[in-house]
Structure 1
Amino acid sequence: MAIVQNWMPPSRENWELICRIWQYFPVITTIQWILDWYPQGKTSTDSRFNIPGKIAWATMEMAGFITLLYIMFTLPSELGIKELPWGNWTMAGCFTIHYTYRAILSPLFLNPSMSPIHPLVWTLAFLFQVFNSTSIGGWLAGYGPTTVHEWAGRFWIMEIGLVIWAWGLLGNMFHDDDLREIRRATDRKQRKEAEKLGKPPESIHKVYMIPKNGLFQYVLYAHYLCEWIEWAGFWIVGGWNCHPARAFLVNEIATMLPRALQGKRWYIKKFGKEKVGNRKAVIPGVL
C-alpha cells in the first residue's frame, strides 16, 4: 500500500530523480568546512528548541531502516516481482542490522547519556536517512537486480565485501563502547561521591575525555573510520554499478570528514595540543 502515490514507494522515474539529487549532497556539506557551528554532541549548544539526545538520535536514525524495509516489502508487488533474489535481502539485512544498532540499541539501551540535539541537525539527519534509504531501497526492491542470475559469478567478491562490512561494524561498535566507557566510569565515580555526601549525582551528558584504546591511539574519530570501512564493504557487496551504495559512502564521508576535523579543533581547544599529540582526525597518519 502506497503512503504517497509514486513517491513512497517511488516510481522508477521518481526514484531516478531522487538518486540524481542525492548525488549532489556533498555540495550541501561544504558549509561544514566554513562554519564550526554544529549543535550536536560535544559541540551542542543551549537552546530552548533542543531535543533530548536519545530521543532525537533514535527518531532521526530509525527513519533509514524503516523506509528501506517499507520499500522492500511494497515495491516488488507493484512491479509484479514475485520474489527478490537473496543478494538483495542480504544487503537489506546489512543495512537493517547497522541501523538497529545505531538507532535503537545504541541510544536507547547502551549510551549512558547523550547531549541534546538542535532541531536543524535532527531535520537534516532525518532527510539524509530518507533520501539514502529510498535510493538504496529502490535499487534493492526492483530497480536493481531482480533475478539470482544477476548475482551469479560474484559470490567471492560478495564474501569479501561482507567480511569488510562485518569488520567495519565490529570496529564501529568497539570504538563506540570505548567512548561510552568514559561516561560510565565517570558516572560510577560521581555516584560513589554523591552517595558519600548524600546528594544526587551530577549529569554526565557533557563529560568528555580523549579516548585512547584501539584506533583511538592514532585518530580521534576511529568510529567514523570504521563506519566508512563498513559501508565500503557494503558497496563491494552490491558491486561497482550499485550507485546508491556508492553515493551512500561518498555522502557519509562528505558530511563526517569536516565534522571530524572540526572535532579535532575542539579537542585541541579543550585539552591542549600536547595531550592530543600526533593523533589525526580520522585517517591514521594522513588527516
Structure 2
Amino acid sequence: MSTLEYLATLKAGLLGQHGSVGLYSALQRCFVAFGLAAAPTCWLIDAPFGRFGTPKWLSCSGDLGWLVMELVAPLAYLYGLALPISTSGSAIGGLYHSLSAPLRQPSSLLAALRALPRARLILALAFLVHYGNRSVISTLRNPGRARMNLSVPLSAILFNFANGITMGMFVGGGYGSADGATQSALFGEQKANGGFSQHVWARPLFTIGMLVWAAGFLSNIYHDEVLYSLKRRRAQKPNPSPSAPPSERYSIPPRSKGLYRYLSHPAYSSEWLEWTGYFLATLALCPAPFPSHASTLVLGGGGKRLVPLPSTLRPSTTWFLQPPILFVLMEVAIMLPRATRGHAWYEKTFGRKEWTEKGQRWVVVPGVW
C-alpha cells in the first residue's frame, strides 16, 4: 500500500466510514505519530506557556485556555464509553449515524457509565475525577495562569480528544453501549464477578494499581498546591514591573514541602505514578479491554457480525500501544523535556549559589534524573 493510500484509509477511519472500531484504530495511529513527532520537538522548543510563555501576540487567557483544553478529555472519555461497537459507517461518513448516537442522546453517556461492571466503573470514575480536578478545580485553585500561546490549547485539545476517546473505548470495551441481550451473552459472567479476570492475581493487582493511582493523584494535588501557595504569597506583595527579572516574579519551591526536598518537578513524577497505577489496574479486567475481543462481538444480540476492517485499520494489540500504557509513555516523553529545561531555568534565573542552597538536586526521579 502506498503512502497516499494509507493516508486515505486513515482519513476514512477518522471520518467514521469504518465505524467506531475504525475510528479507534485511526486515532491510535495518529496518537502514536503525534508522540513520535512531539517527543524530540519538546527537547528543542519550550511549549509557550507558564514561565516559557510568549508575548500577547496569538495568545489567550491562561485560565480559560487550560479549562477548555482539559475539559475535552473527560467529555471525550464519556463519548468513547457510549460509542456502539461497529466497523462500518454510512455512505456519508458514519458521523451522522452510529458515531453520532452519543451526541444525539446525551443521556446515553451516563447510561453507559452506569452499565459498566464494578472494576470498569472504578477506572472510569478515576479518569473523570482526575480531569475534573485538572480542569475545573485546579483552575479555581490556581491564583492565575500566565497567558499562553494559542498553539498550546489547540494541540492539547487534539491530544486530549484522541486520548479520551481511545481510553473510554478501551476501558468500556463496548459494554456500556451494548443492549441487555448482548451484555448478558458477552459479559454476564464477568458482570457477576465485578468485571475482574478469573486469575487469582486479578483483584490484588487491581487493588495495588488503584492504590498507586490514588497515591499519585493525591501527591499531584499536594505539590500543585505548594506552587499555588507561592503564587498567592507573591500576589499579596506589590506587583513587580513587567520588565522585572524573573527572579522577582518567581520563587523556588521550599525543600520543606513533600518531595520538593528532592525534586524540582514532583507533580510531574506524581502524575506518571498515577497513570502507571491506572495501567496496572486495567490488566485485571475481563474480558480483556477493547480491542482484544472486538472481532468476536455480536451486535445487538441479533447475530450480526462485524464487517472486516482494512488491514491498516485493525486495532493494534501490541501491549505498549494500548491507551493506558501509551498515555504514560506519551506523558513522560512530552513532560520530561519540559521538567529538565525548567530545572535548568531555575538555576539560570536564581544563580548557581542560591539554587544550590535552596533548590532541588534532582528533576523528577531521585538518584536517577
* TM-score, structure 1 normalization: 0.85
- Whether contact under 8 Å (1:10, 1:138) holds in the other structure is no
- Paired with 2:61 and 2:241, the residues of 1 have a C-alpha distance of 13
Deviation string 1:84-133 (CA, Å, 9 cap, x unpaired) is 322222111111000000011101x1001101110111111111101111
Partner of 2:362: 280
User: 1:43-192 alignment to 2 at 5 Å?
Assistant: 43-75=52-84, 83-107=115-139, 109-142=140-173, 147=187, 148=190, 151-153=196-198, 154-190=202-238
Q: CA deviation at 1:281?
A: 1.6
1:89 alignment partner, SS class: helix
Partner of 1:21: 30
Partner of 2:342: 263
- Paired with 2:34 and 2:234, the residues of 1 have a C-alpha distance of 38
- Whether contact under 8 Å (1:25, 1:251) holds in the other structure is no
1:227 to 271, 291, 305: 271
Deviation string 1:44-100 (CA, Å, 9 cap, x unpaired) is 011321111100000011100011112223437969x99432222211111100000
Q: CA deviation at 1:38?
A: 2.3
Amino acid at match of 2:266: A
Deviation string 1:162-185 (CA, Å, 9 cap, x unpaired) is 100001000000000000010111
- Paired with 1:5 and 1:119, the residues of 2 have a C-alpha distance of 25
Whether 2:211 is the aligned partner of 1:211: answer no
Q: Alignment RMSD, CA only?
A: 2.8
- Whether contact under 8 Å (2:264, 2:362) holds in the other structure is yes
Deviation string 1:202-238 (CA, Å, 9 cap, x unpaired) is 699x732111211112111100000000000110111
Q: CA deviation at 1:34?
A: 2.1
Larger radius of gyration: 2
1:250 alignment partner, SS class: helix
- Paired with 1:57 and 1:215, the residues of 2 have a C-alpha distance of 25
Q: CA deviation at 1:14?
A: 2.2
* Structure with the larger helix share: 1
- Paired with 1:23 and 1:85, the residues of 2 have a C-alpha distance of 29
CA 112–272 in structure 1, closer or farther in 2 if over 3 Å, else same? same
CA 244–182 in structure 1, closer or farther in 2 if over 3 Å, else same? same
CA 86–203 in structure 1, closer or farther in 2 if over 3 Å, else same? farther
Q: CA deviation at 1:186?
A: 1.5
- Whether contact under 8 Å (1:138, 1:144) holds in the other structure is no
Amino acid at match of 1:22: F
After TM superposition, the structure 1 stretch with the greater mean CA deviation from structure 2, 90-99 or 265-274, is 265-274
Q: CA deviation at 1:25?
A: 3.3
Number of corresponding residues: 269
Q: CA deviation at 1:10?
A: 5.6
- Whether contact under 8 Å (1:71, 1:138) holds in the other structure is yes
- Whether contact under 8 Å (2:81, 2:168) holds in the other structure is yes
- Paired with 1:26 and 1:73, the residues of 2 have a C-alpha distance of 26
1:11 alignment partner, SS class: helix
CA 143–246 in structure 1, closer or farther in 2 if over 3 Å, else same? farther
Write out the 4+ residue segments of structure 1 that deviate beyond 4 Å after TM superposition.
76-79, 143-146, 201-204
- For structure 2, the residue ranges without an aligned partner over 5 or more in a row are 1-13, 87-97, 100-111, 177-185, 285-318
Identity %: 29
Deviation string 1:245-272 (CA, Å, 9 cap, x unpaired) is 0111000111000110111121111012
- Paired with 1:183 and 1:10, the residues of 2 have a C-alpha distance of 47
- Paired with 2:84 and 2:119, the residues of 1 have a C-alpha distance of 17
* TM-score, structure 2 normalization: 0.67
Amino acid at match of 1:161: G
After TM superposition, the structure 1 stretch with the greater mean CA deviation from structure 2, 60-69 or 43-52, is 43-52
- Whether contact under 8 Å (1:76, 1:141) holds in the other structure is no
- Paired with 1:95 and 1:113, the residues of 2 have a C-alpha distance of 25
- Paired with 2:337 and 2:222, the residues of 1 have a C-alpha distance of 23
- Paired with 2:353 and 2:155, the residues of 1 have a C-alpha distance of 35
Amino acid at match of 1:31: T
Partner of 1:39: 48
2:40 to 30, 37, 47: 30
